[in-house]
């Protein structure tokens, strides 16, 4: 919580002049004419006006100082965002071997107005996966392969690969070890030692892109290829999908021998769930082959003469294109390439070889000798390299990037999804607000609320709810345990949502270094208590015909661990099941005159109890088989 800033001096011009007139009688009793025509009063009012201006500036923090304060806290205003997307490059069938394209490959629209550039090299094979039904070919297939316990029946999901409004379950809706996603190609996807680049998109691709790279907290997957009826391991150089749960790329290395399947003539690879499992089963929007990430940043290589210095302060020179990506410029001054780009003069001294870049206008400005060195007269100012692009103009829709610049070995370019991430530079006020948000977030588990907030922020673990119980140890039941705290966590998925051992371990490892010293921390899942409600509803003549089903659905929704409860965020942990709340829920149903015969029973009850059902601190009520009876409609 940031401290409120005090107002150092709030006096106005009127208050200052009034105070000065009162001081005249004490300091100069012979001065008796205090009217406005008196020259002394005129001077006093003038000084009051100047003082008010100074007081106004007293509470103001200049931008340079504010940026300095932000840097001390580890926050700097972000430069203009550069839009990114992923394109898939397609080769004509029948070509043997792979074409290796270096980083810096440029793709553009049909008019070459918008240019994107790749950030890494790409090996393009003749293999292909169709990314829309409009392609009219069948060079690739996608199969969701069930495990042996499910009969091993593969499901063809090729049609769902980026079909509008559809997604596919790579391991099924209830993944088991052994389930796999198979990819089949009519052309050899990767020769011996060649790389095969895949891209996987999830439905949440805009928020989870670029967050992979680490292993999944519980599930482990392996990539394999079909060799003569047997599946063999495939060397994986990189897998940023976290077991197909995040948007990211996969880079595989081709085996020495990769025959086609005699049954259908295709070359098959697969991603198999080898161990562990998921609380939230992975769901994919699309899979692409020969895919590479591209940025809205066109490299302009020099040397390009911008001008000759005159030895004057603050000289300005324009680059050959705009806008310019911040941090991408390389400038030589009289053959000296030690000059460095800055976007503010805050950390520049009088002798520093810095130049100021205006990314929007594409203009560089040199210093004035007090801030930044002045290039000597006659110095040739040369742009050796910079990147043109950035900003909101790069947020183009899908299908815009269709051409390659100066590459003729490929058939076409496919841009399956829009480019995102471009935007203006962050304003200083927004950076300030971002810092305040960071300061308000707990970083240490001092209180129970801190531990709950930290558990919800466990990186890349789908924690849906968290509840900290101080003085509780799972091994001691209801007995108080001084110095212990138990954190109960629920995943965002599951029926009911039950955390796996890997889920609990990941949360515990995140909380452990943030717990208070000398505190014993335990992370557990909830104990579910099935609850059965028995009630008789007395309907009126307007009652819906399925009133009993509506009542059961309302009870199921009320007891839902994630979205139930009075406010829709789940029933509070350890809160007794109150007879009055259940009565109010049923009585509020349409067509119900009143409710009687209400009884609530738990798993150990032989029949409905009279009153509330008590729960322990780590327990949650779970909807059971409810018995709803409808009385005869009154005539």
Confidence label for 152 from pLDDT (cuts 50, 70 and 90): low
Residue 25 has pLDDT above 90, yes or no: no
The predicted-structure confidence for 74-116, as pLDDT tens digits, reads as follows 999 999 999 999 999 988 887 777 888 899 999 998 888 899 9
Provide the 8-state DSSP code for 475: G
* pLDDT for res 1: 46
**Which range has the worst mean pLDDT, 106-115, 403-412, 508-517?**
403-412
Give the mean pLDDT of 538-562. Answer: 89
Contact 283, 167 (CB under 8 A): yes
Place of tokens 């029973």: 601
Cα-Cα-Cα-Cα dihedral sign, residues 360, 366, 367, 368: negative
Q: How many other CB atoms sit within 10 Å of the CB of residue 208?
A: 18
* pLDDT for res 85: 95
Cα-Cα-Cα-Cα dihedral sign, residues 71, 75, 81, 87: positive
Confidence label for 212 from pLDDT (cuts 50, 70 and 90): low
What are the DSSP calls for 442-461, one per residue? --S--SHHHHHHHHHT-TT-
Beta bridge partners of 380: 308
CA–chain centroid gap for 129, Å, is 28
Over pLDDT 90: what percentage of the chain? 62
Q: Classify burial at 411, counting beta carbons within 10 Å of its beta carbon; exposed 0-12, middle 13-18, buried 19 or more.
A: middle
* pLDDT for res 463: 96
Residue 150 has pLDDT above 70, yes or no: no
Beta bridge partners of 489: 466
Contact 169, 156 (CB under 8 A): no
The predicted-structure confidence for 459-489, as pLDDT tens digits, reads as follows 999 999 999 999 999 888 878 889 999 999 9
Residue 505 has pLDDT above 80, yes or no: yes
Confidence label for 566 from pLDDT (cuts 50, 70 and 90): confident
Contact 268, 182 (CB under 8 A): yes
Compute the C-alpha angle 94/188/241, nearest 5°: 130
Q: How many residues does the chain have?
A: 635
Looking at 166-299, list the stretches that DSSP marks H as alpha helix, in order from N- to C-terminal side: 205-208
Residue 129 has pLDDT above 80, yes or no: yes
| Phi/psi at 495 (5° precision) | -130, 90
pLDDT higher at 396 or 96: 396
* pLDDT for res 553: 93
Give the mean pLDDT of 575-586. Answer: 92
Encoded tokens for 73:
């806290």
Place of tokens 């829920």: 585
Give the mean pLDDT of 141-153. Answer: 72
Over pLDDT 70: what percentage of the chain? 96
What is the C-alpha separation between 142 and 154, in angstroms, rounded? 10
Mode of pairing for the β-strands spanning 354-358 and 412-414: unpaired
Compute the C-alpha angle 491/492/498, nearest 5°: 35
What is the C-alpha separation between 327 and 81, in angstroms, rounded? 12
Calculate the alpha carbon distances from 158 to 30, 241, 361 in Å.
Answer: 100, 20, 47
Confidence label for 151 from pLDDT (cuts 50, 70 and 90): low
What is the C-alpha separation between 558 and 441, in angstroms, rounded? 31
Mode of pairing for the β-strands spanning 412-414 and 84-90: antiparallel
* pLDDT for res 4: 65
Calculate the alpha carbon distances from 90 to 106, 403, 498 in Å.
Answer: 15, 11, 43
Encoded tokens for 343:
């976007």
Is the link from the previous residue into 243 a cis peptide, with omega within 30 of 0? Answer: no
* pLDDT for res 132: 78
What is the C-alpha separation between 105 and 124, in angstroms, rounded? 12
| Angle between helical axes of 13-27 and 39-58 (0-180°, round to 10) | 130
What are the DSSP calls for 260-298, one per residue? PPTTTS-EEEEEEEEE---SS---BSEEEESEEEEESEE
- For the chain, how big is the Rg over CA atoms in Å? 34
Give the mean pLDDT of 160-187. Answer: 89
What is the C-alpha separation between 615 and 467, in angstroms, rounded? 15
Q: What average pLDDT does the chain have?
A: 89
Residue 409 has pLDDT above 70, yes or no: no
* pLDDT for res 211: 66
């Amino acid at each position: 919580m940031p401290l409120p800033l005090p107002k150092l001096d709030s006096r106005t011009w009127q208050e200052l002049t009034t105070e000065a007139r009162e001081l005249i009688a004490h300091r100069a009793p012979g001065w008796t004419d205090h009217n406005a025509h008196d020259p002394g009063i005129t001077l006093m009012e003038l000084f009051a006006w100047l003082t008010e201006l100074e007081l106004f500036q007293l509470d103001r923090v200049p931008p340079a100082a504010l940026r300095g304060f932000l840097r001390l806290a580890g926050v700097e205003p972000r430069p203009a965002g550069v839009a990114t997307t992923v394109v898939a490059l397609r080769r004509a069938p029948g070509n043997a071997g792979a074409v290796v394209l270096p980083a810096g490959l440029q793709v553009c629209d049909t008019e070459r107005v918008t240019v994107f550039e790749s950030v890494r090299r790409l090996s393009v094979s003749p293999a292909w996966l169709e990314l829309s039904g409009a392609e009219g070919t069948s060079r690739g297939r996608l199969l969701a392969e069930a495990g042996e316990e499910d009969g091993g029946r593969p499901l063809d999901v090729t049609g769902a690969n980026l079909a509008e409004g559809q997604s596919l379950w790579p391991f099924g809706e209830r993944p088991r070890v052994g389930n796999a996603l198979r990819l089949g190609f009519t052309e050899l996807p990767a020769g011996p030692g060649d790389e095969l680049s895949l891209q996987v998109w999830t439905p949440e691709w805009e928020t989870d892109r670029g967050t992979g790279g680490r292993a999944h907290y519980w599930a482990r997957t392996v990539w394999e290829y079909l060799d003569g009826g047997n599946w063999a391991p495939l060397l994986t150089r990189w897998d940023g999908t976290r077991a197909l749960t995040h948007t990211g790329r996969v880079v595989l290395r081709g085996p020495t021998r990769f025959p086609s399947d005699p049954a259908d003539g295709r070359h098959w690879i697969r991603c198999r769930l080898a161990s562990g499992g998921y609380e939230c089963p992975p769901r994919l929007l699309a899979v692409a082959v020969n895919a590479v990430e591209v940025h809205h940043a066109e490299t302009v290589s020099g040397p390009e003469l911008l001008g000759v210095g005159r030895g004057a302060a603050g000289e300005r020179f324009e680059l050959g294109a705009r806008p310019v990506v911040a941090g991408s410029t390389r400038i030589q001054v009289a053959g000296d390439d030690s000059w460095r780009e800055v976007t503010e003069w805050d950390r520049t001294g009088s002798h520093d070889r810095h130049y100021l870049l205006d990314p929007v206008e594409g203009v560089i400005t040199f210093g004035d000798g007090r801030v930044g060195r002045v290039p000597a007269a006659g110095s040739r100012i040369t742009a050796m390299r910079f990147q043109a692009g950035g900003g909101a103009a790069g947020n183009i829709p899908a299908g815009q990037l269709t051409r390659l610049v100066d590459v003729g070995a490929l058939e076409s370019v496919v841009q399956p999804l829009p480019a995102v991430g471009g935007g203006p530079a962050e304003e200083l006020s927004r950076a300030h607000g971002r810092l305040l948000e960071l300061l308000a977030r707990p970083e240490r588990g001092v209180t129970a609320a801190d531990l709950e907030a930290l558990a919800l922020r466990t990186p890349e673990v789908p924690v849906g709810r968290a509840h900290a119980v101080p003085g509780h140890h799972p091994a001691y039941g209801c007995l108080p345990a001084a110095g212990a705290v138990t954190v109960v966590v629920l995943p965002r998925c599951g029926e009911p949502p039950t955390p796996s051992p890997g889920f609990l371990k990941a949360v515990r490892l995140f909380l452990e270094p943030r717990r208070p010293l000398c505190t014993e921390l335990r992370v557990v899942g909830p104990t579910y208590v099935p609850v059965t409600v028995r009630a008789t509803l007395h309907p009126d003549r307007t009652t819906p015909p399925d009133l009993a089903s509506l009542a059961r659905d309302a009870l199921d929704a009320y007891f839902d661990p994630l979205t139930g409860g009075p406010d829709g965020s789940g029933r509070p942990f350890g809160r007794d099941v109150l007879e009055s709340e259940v009565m109010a829920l049923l009585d509020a149903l349409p067509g119900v005159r009143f409710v009687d015969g209400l009884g609530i029973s738990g798993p150990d009850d032989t029949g409905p109890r009279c009153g509330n059902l008590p729960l322990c601190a780590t327990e949650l009520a779970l909807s059971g088989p409810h018995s709803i009876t409808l009385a005869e409609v009154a005539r």
